[in-house]
Structure 1
Amino acid sequence: MENENKRKGLNDKGLWSPNAIMIIGSVFSFFIAGIMSAINYGRLGYIQKKRRDIYSIVLALAACLFLINISDEKITSGMIVVAINVAMSLYYKANQEKIYKEHMRNNGKRGSLKIPILSSIIVILILLGIGYRTDYLYLKITGRYEGDIYNGIGKIYDKNSNIKYEGDFRHGKPDGNGKLYHGNESLAYEGDFKDGKFDGNGKMYYENGNLKYEGDFKDSDYHGQGKLYYKNGNLAYNGDFKDGLTYGQGKWYNENGNLRYEGSLKNDLAHGQGKLYDENGNLIFEGELIDGEPVNGKAYDKTGNLIKEGNVKGMFD
């Protein structure tokens, strides 16, 4: 009686073809392919096989998460997902071959692909949206776990298996000594971390490998004593920082290495007592500056001769 009902169902219900299920699964997700296979069985009254496909989806998802967690450092999450997508899609295709051939011999209908394709696109867009909002979907972490939190020494890789960070962790964040890398795996920072931020002493690098900054950090800002460098490797600034800005005493240099300013600074501007130099390193002013503008002191020409003393406001605009 059950077989009779199944044969009648073959004529009345539309089924998705095994090839369509395989393509949807391989291109989009085995999750959608598994649902399609389960629905095919359900339309024909194969309840046990329908349940089997539902169980297989759950097991494949669990296997995917497990393999991502234990996989080698150079095997990405994406590679594992693609492999499981293809394997499960072939599995569903093979299971559907027999009933689909019988269905077509009995002039059965083909199922519309509109809903599976639309569902697949929605799933992909959701995953892409989550991936756009946070890189953590693509992080691969190796090291010592304590419960669900990693502590000790470990490494983080991006979705392309490029290393992003290696060093100390505490409560799931970089904390201690570590190295951060650019997308091309060149060194971006090495030094102290605290609660996931640059904090303490460290060095930052340009993508070309040249040193960008060396000195003190606080909450990932330049803070304390430090040196800034141009991309060509020449010193740009040597002195004090506060909250990411030059603040205190310091010296600025041009890209050719010539001194341009030395003295007091506030919020990235010359402010207080200081000396200005031209592009060739010749002294042109010494005295008081306010918000980057010389206001009172001595002005010199390029040969070092005094040309004015006192109020010099507007002379260096």
Structure 2
Amino acid sequence: MADFSVADVKKLRERTGAGMMDAKKALAEANGDIEAAIDALRAKGLATAQKKSSRTAAEGLVGVLVEGTRGVAVEVNSETDFVAKNDKFQDFVRKVTAVALALGSDDVEALKAAAYPDGGTVGEKLTDNIATIGENQQIRRIKSVSVTQGAIVPYIHNAAGEGLGKIGVLVALESDADADTLSALGKDIAQHAAAMFPQALDADSLDPAVIERERKIAAEKAAESGKPAEVQAKMVEGAVKKFAKENALLSQVFVKDGKATVEEHIARIAKEAGKTIKLVDYVRFQLGEGIEKEQVDFAAEVAAAVKG
């Protein structure tokens, strides 16, 4: 057996970005010589991933998958939309989404460590994709939803293929209503969520930091009014409540109705069906959401390349 340790494998992976199995094989073939292993990986094109991993990946695809009363959404990023249309990349996203559903965890690192259907781990396949496709790619986030009884309804906006697109939504409805009723209702709610971008299921679930920021903004506006302190306090509370109502899914005005809230619409459908229906969770992943994209000056980039 070649003379190298787990620490050597880790060091080689850190220096090259190669997958675990590729790193171990390279060290074995190089009799534990890290520098020789690096050369071997570079020759195979597997040592390019580390350099590429520093580049911003804000394109890609969102994958959604439902099985029975469980569903999952996964965002996998690439640098360009061109790669998102690549069959190999799309196949990867589909398989990773299926692995995530079986895993039942929202931990990205756990997903990377999970077995990939074609062999190796998800993380190793990701590293291989970076090297062979030629762009940085990242598994950014996962969210799973489930119900005890009812339906998980998926929706893809701007679909690039089955279960793949730019915006992926899952709606979790806890109910004993019939499948057709829940499917139609779930699709309506999912399309609403895709269009209206709620930040949480209800007001109590909104990020406290976001609420505090809105409170500070409202306080500054109220102070500019010059009104008495007690009036300003009411103005602030009113502004915060309005923000919470407009950004929580259940209290948003349902887009297909224009009058009732999403919660009221659900109650109406439940009454018509003679069943109890509760929206217990949802996922809305929009590709690249919150990622600060690099602004590339192509003229400067070309000039720099010419200078060597």
Q: Same fold (TM over 0.5)?
A: no
Structure in which a larger fraction of residues adopt helix? 2
Give 1 or 2 for the bigger CA radius of gyration.
Answer: 1
What is the TM-score of this pair, normalised by structure 1?
Answer: 0.23
Higher RCO by CA contacts (8 Å cutoff, separation 6 or greater): 2
What is the TM-score of this pair, normalised by structure 2?
Answer: 0.24
